[in-house]
């Protein structure tokens, strides 16, 4: 590896081609989902650029720095073309994608009106919903079934019907944040889970009914919310068994994105941190759902995780063992989707002298989330067409996009955005039989 390039994976089978139509089934056609769908259509028509999307605008360096070879990611790996994507989805409200996008008020009226005829064609299928799991919503467009197994079968029937119209299918959860659930015995194996579906076990949330249906049909599943969903042994088993890739949860968009950029910088410079106070104001439907303490708890767990792993207080007790880390989300309707996230960070340096950093991120939640949702869909489809990724279940290389990366049991997750980015790009190099890049760099000075 002296040349700064890691081992080449000579005999790795490359991904199959992406020809044909990719069906994308979106659970929850709210702010994020409609911003993704409308955005893809705007890009297809040449009305806008896919900013924020690594699959569409990112490049990947191949070989030595002196080789000057950095193709676009989408020219290097065989990804589905945006023109080949067909969207459908479920929601608990009957609004079509145009109506829902207009309600979400993320995109301006002029943009939406240009896309209106197309967006109106996407009408939600009736959802699997139970208010016990999302207290602030009252769904009217919902499936009825004699038990959770029956509901899962109905979702499977939806997938089978849609599959007849496309060549491949991926499912993504862009639905609301459910109440906090922890794994129980019902999640321990496929058999236990299937029994629980029959007996209406309360440990099985609607998001898990969709995920079970997807994975049973061999459909990869991504989770944009912090819900437990596929983060349980039963789903990992199902994912591997049916060659339907899964990844972690909760789109890493605003505040956590900044955290996983700043915290690695402090650690790299051995600067201590005594406190990190994060608060948000948010006025969209997501904010309303998160105003319920039980849904907030799910989000809180997901948002709190990253610092502990990045700082490794067990290795650096003098710097990070006593961090006071707090995360708040406040529902504040006037701001709509334009969230404001504040961070106050108390750090300390040489000889323990204290300093402060303030971050005020006036972001647009769904504008940040939409390209992440698109990339996850395209990369999960790629994973399923790649022999070395298809049957491994968890796609750790997609951690880059998620607040709560998923890993094999016993393996700590990587939260550092730059490690995640390297992991993602090296995975792409690996599956294409290109040299991995280690950044050693000594070869330039031989």
Ligand X SMILES: NC(=O)c1ccc[n+]([C@@H]2O[C@H](COP(=O)([O-])OP(=O)(O)OC[C@H]3O[C@@H](n4cnc5c(N)ncnc54)[C@H](O)[C@@H]3O)[C@@H](O)[C@H]2O)c1
Q: Contact between 230 and ligand X (CB under 6 A)? A: no
Decide whether 19 or 109 has the Cβ nearer to ligand X. Answer: 109
Token code pair at residue 413: 């997750």
- 229, 184, 177, 220: which is closest to 30 by C-alpha? 177
- The pair of structure tokens assigned to 250 is 């909760």
Q: Does 91 bind ligand X (CB under 6 A)?
A: yes
Among 38, 79, 122, 127, binds ligand X (CB under 6 A): 127
Q: Are 402 and 249 in contact (CB under 8 A)?
A: yes
Residue 32 lies near ligand X (rule: CB under 6 A): yes
Toward ligand X, which CB reaches closer, 50 or 224?
224
The stretch among 36-44, 48-56, 282-290, 381-389 that binds ligand X (CB under 6 A) is 282-290
Contact 366, 104 (CB under 8 A): yes
| Cβ contact 388:245 at 8 Å | no
Residue 39 within binding range of ligand X, rule CB under 6 A: no
Bridge-partner residues for 340, per DSSP?
A: 281, 362
Q: Is 340 in the site for ligand X (CB under 6 A)?
A: no
Tokens of 410: 């016993």
Answer yes or no whether residue 212 interacts with ligand X by CB under 6 A.
no
Among 25, 40, 134, 170, binds ligand X (CB under 6 A): 134
The answer to whether 436 and 8 have CB atoms below 8 angstroms apart is: yes
Q: In Å, how far are 30, 44, 99, 178 from 118, measured between CA atoms?
A: 17, 12, 12, 30
Under a CB-based contact definition with an 8 Å cutoff, are residues 66 and 445 in contact?
no
Q: Does residue number 246 form part of the binding site for ligand X (CB under 6 A)?
A: no
Residue 272 C-beta: closest distance to ligand X, Å: 29
Site for ligand X in 151-180 (CB under 6 A): 174-177
278 contributes a contact to ligand X by CB under 6 A: no
Return phi, psi of residue 192, to 5°. -65, -40
Minimum distance of ligand X from residue 369's CB (angstroms): 4
Tell the smallest beta-carbon distance from residue 288 to ligand X (Å): 7
Q: To which residue do tokens 């990844």 refer?
A: 247
- Is residue 285 close enough to count as binding ligand X by CB under 6 A? yes
Task: Give the other-Cβ count within 10 Å of 339's Cβ.
Answer: 25
- Whichever of 263 and 369 has its CB closer to ligand X, that residue is 369
From 70-78, 124-132, 230-238, 306-314, span contacting ligand X (CB under 6 A): 124-132
Residues that bind ligand X (CB under 6 A): 27-33, 90-93, 104, 127-129, 134, 137, 174-177, 206, 224-225, 250-251, 253-254, 284-286, 289, 365-366, 368-369
């Amino acid at each position: 590896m002296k040349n700064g390039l890691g081992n080449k994976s000579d005999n790795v089978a490359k991904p199959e081609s992406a020809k044909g139509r990719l069906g994308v089934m979106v659970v929850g056609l709210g702010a994020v989902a409609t911003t993704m769908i409308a955005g893809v259509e705007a890009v297809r028509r040449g009305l806008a650029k896919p900013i924020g999307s690594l699959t569409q605008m990112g490049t990947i360096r191949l070989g030595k720095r002196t080789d000057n070879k950095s193709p676009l990611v989408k020219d290097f790996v065989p990804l589905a073309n945006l023109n080949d994507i067909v969207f459908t989805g479920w929601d608990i409200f009957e609004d079509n994608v145009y109506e829902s996008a207009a309600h979400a008020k993320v995109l301006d009226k002029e943009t939406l009106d240009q896309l209106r005829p197309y967006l109106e064609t996407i009408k939600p299928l009736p959802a699997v919903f139970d208010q016990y799991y999302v207290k602030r919503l009252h769904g009217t467009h919902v499936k009825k079934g004699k038990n959770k197994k029956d509901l899962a079968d109905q979702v499977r029937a939806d997938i089978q019907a849609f599959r007849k119209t496309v060549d491949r299918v991926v499912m993504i959860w862009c639905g609301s944040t459910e109440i906090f659930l922890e794994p129980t015995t019902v999640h321990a194996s496929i058999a236990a889970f299937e029994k629980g579906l029959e007996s209406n076990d309360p440990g099985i949330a609607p998001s898990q009914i969709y995920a079970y249906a997807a994975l049973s049909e061999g459909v990869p599943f991504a989770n944009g919310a912090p819900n437990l969903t596929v983060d349980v042994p039963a789903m990992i088993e199902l994912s591997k068994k049916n060659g339907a890739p899964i990844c972690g949860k909760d789109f890493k968009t605003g505040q956590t994105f900044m955290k996983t950029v700043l915290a690695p910088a402090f650690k790299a410079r051995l600067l201590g941190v005594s406190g990190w106070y994060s608060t948000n104001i948010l006025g969209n439907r997501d904010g309303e759902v998160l105003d319920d303490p039980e849904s907030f708890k799910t989000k809180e767990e997901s948002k709190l995780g990253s610092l502990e792993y990045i700082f490794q207080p067990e290795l650096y007790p003098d710097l990070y063992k006593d961090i006071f880390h707090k995360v708040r989300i406040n529902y504040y309707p006037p701001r709509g989707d334009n969230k404001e996230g504040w961070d106050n960070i108390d750090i300390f340096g040489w000889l323990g002298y204290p300093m402060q950093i303030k971050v005020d991120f006036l972001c647009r939640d769904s504008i940040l989330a939409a390209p992440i949702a698109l990339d996850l869909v395209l990369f999960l489809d790629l994973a399923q067409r790649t022999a070395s990724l298809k049957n491994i279940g968890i796609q750790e290389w997609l951690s880059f996009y998620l607040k709560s990366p998923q890993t094999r049991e016993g393996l700590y997750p990587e939260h550092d955005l730059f490690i995640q980015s390297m992991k993602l790009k090296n995975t792409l190099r690996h599956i294409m039989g290109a040299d991995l890049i280690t950044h050693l760099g000594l070869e330039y000075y031989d």
